[in-house]
Amino acid sequence: MIKDQKDLKEKRGKWWEERLGWQAIITFLRQKKVPRSEHTIWLYTGSLILLFLAIQVITGIVLALYYKPTVAEANESVRRIMTEVPLGWIIRSLHFWSATGMIATVFVHMISIWLLKSYRRPRELTWMTGVLLLILTLGFGFTGYLLPWDELSLAATKVGTDIPRVIPFMGSWISKFLRGGDDVGPDTLTRFYLFHICVLPLLIFLVIGFHIFLIQKLGISQPLKYELKGIKVPEIPFWPDFVLMESRVWLIAVGLLITVAIFLPRGLGPQADMMAPTPTGIKPEWYFLFLFQTLKLFPAQILFISGESLAILIVLFFLVLFFFLPLIDNQPGGNKGRIITFISLVIIIYAVAMTIWSLVE
């Protein structure tokens, strides 16, 4: 009896093996090594981002079953999701908190790689695709914010879509393209919905695919300080050791996410009124607060340019530098590398301080 069962199992295994060749994948994962050091904890953030993304895809599909992307119905449909659809408010809350978790984890992931200088040769493209993923993630947050079509989301989108105007030559066109006209309106909502559920997911899966391919091809970098000393840190197999260790983090993250989603559910404001003045005291989501606070610090006019325009151009300039950081920081162990680390720390502290300042203000 047992022998028969074993034979059947083997037979089934062969059937799958013949079609998928999964043994080759298992062998690859067993041979794939992960450096184990005090910095290993930062490696968990990568898979955590994918976990949050998966939760967002699932909850997003459920929400899309009931959401109606028109000015007249958007707010009402979200209201319906939260009040009539069974457990709809939890689904929406899970979607919101997984988005927040994803953006927070992307920030932590980027900062850890930034400070550990894991972008150094030959992983420049891995870093650049990572920056693209950060932008796409923020794009998800920005487009998704408008979809409930409440007062705050409309005001934030008006401000947000106005920002590209300061970009020379094509700024106005970008703003108009995003809005679908001169002002935020029905076309903006349709476009943002399309970006949120179609364009951005396609782009993010493409870039994630390329990012993961690069990680598999180049492997995970050794910590810089050990590499400079010529010490090779011990490595563990990706499968099953590292996956088991990561699984603990996933479990805790899922538990925390569900708990937070239940006890801190996302509310819904009154329907947006396109002709109403901007409500007082509006603030963007936490991940744009540093930019928001920076804009407030700048005076109205600096020489021949408006303060706001100058601030946005400076931020865009830093974003370009950030993208090309591996090419700029081409001597991570040298004096140039140390100066870049110092500047990086100053920027991170500045962003955190601005965010906290804006939150408590």
Per CB under 8 A, the list member of 105, 123, 151, 292 interacting with another protein is 151
Q: The tokens of 203 are what?
A: 């782009």
Per-residue binding letters, 26-55, with another protein (x by CB under 8 A): ------------------------------
3-state secondary structure 27-61: HHHHHCEEECCCCHHHHHHHHHHHHHHHHHHHHHH
Total chain residues near another protein (CB under 8 A):
41
- For 154, list phi and psi in degrees, rounded to 5: -65, -45
Structure tokens at 172: 């106005």
Quote the distance between the C-alpha of residue 73 and its chain's center.
Answer: 28
Asked if 360 is part of the footprint of another protein (rule: CB under 8 A), the reply reads no
H or E element that contains 232 = none
**Of these, 8, 20, 194, 262, which contacts another protein (CB under 8 A)?**
262
**252 touches another protein by CB under 8 A:** yes
Q: Does 244 bind another protein (CB under 8 A)?
A: yes
What's 240's DSSP letter?
I
> Residue 5 contacts by C-beta under 8 Å, 6 or more apart in sequence?
none
End-to-end CA distance of the chain: 72
Least distance CB 236 / another protein (angstroms): 7
Q: Does 268 bind another protein (CB under 8 A)?
A: yes
Question: How is residue 29 written in tokens?
Answer: 């994962």
For another protein, the closer CB: 38 or 182: 182
Query: 1 Cβ partners below 8 Å, 6+ apart?
Result: none
For another protein, the closer of residues 264 and 297 by Cβ is 264
Which of 171, 180, 201, 269 lies at the binding interface for another protein (CB under 8 A)?
269
Only one residue has tokens 């110092």, namely: 342
The distance of closest approach from Cβ of residue 81 to another protein in the complex, given in angstroms and rounded to an integer, is 9
Question: How far, CA to CA in Å, does 73 sit from each of 88, 178, 262, 314, 335?
Answer: 17, 21, 26, 39, 58
1 in contact with another protein (CB under 8 A): no
> Can residue 83 be called a binding residue for another protein (CB under 8 A)?
yes
| 180 in contact with another protein (CB under 8 A) | no
Q: Which is nearer to another protein, 180 or 265 (CB)?
A: 265
Q: Are 138 and 289 in contact (CB under 8 A)?
A: no
Site string for another protein, 288-327 (x = CB under 8 A): ----------------------------------------
Residue type, 85: V
Answer yes or no whether residue 285 interacts with another protein by CB under 8 A: no
Is residue 89 at the binding interface for another protein, with CB under 8 A as the rule?
Answer: yes
Q: How far is the CB of 107 from another protein (least distance, A)?
A: 25
Quick check: 248 binds another protein (CB under 8 A)?
Answer: yes
Q: Are 301 and 307 in contact (CB under 8 A)?
A: yes
Rule CB under 8 A: say whether 20 interacts with another protein: no
The two three-digit tokens of residue 257, written as one number: 């996410």
According to the binding rule CB under 8 A, does residue 92 interact with another protein? yes
Q: How far is the CB of 241 from another protein (least distance, A)?
A: 5
Check binding of 178 to another protein (CB under 8 A).
no
Q: Which is nearer to another protein, 101 or 130 (CB)?
A: 101
Query: Is residue 303 left, alpha or beta, with left meaning phi > 0 and alpha meaning psi from -120 to 50?
Result: left
3-state DSSP assignment of residue 347: helix
How far is Cα 272 from Cα 13, in angstroms, rounded to an integer? 56
14 binds another protein per the rule CB under 8 A: no
**Does residue 93 interact with another protein by CB under 8 A?**
yes
Q: SS3 for 237?
A: strand
Q: Which residues bind another protein (CB under 8 A)?
A: 71-72, 79, 82-83, 89-90, 92-93, 151, 182-183, 185-186, 236-237, 240-241, 244-245, 247-248, 251-252, 254-255, 258-259, 262, 265-271, 273-277
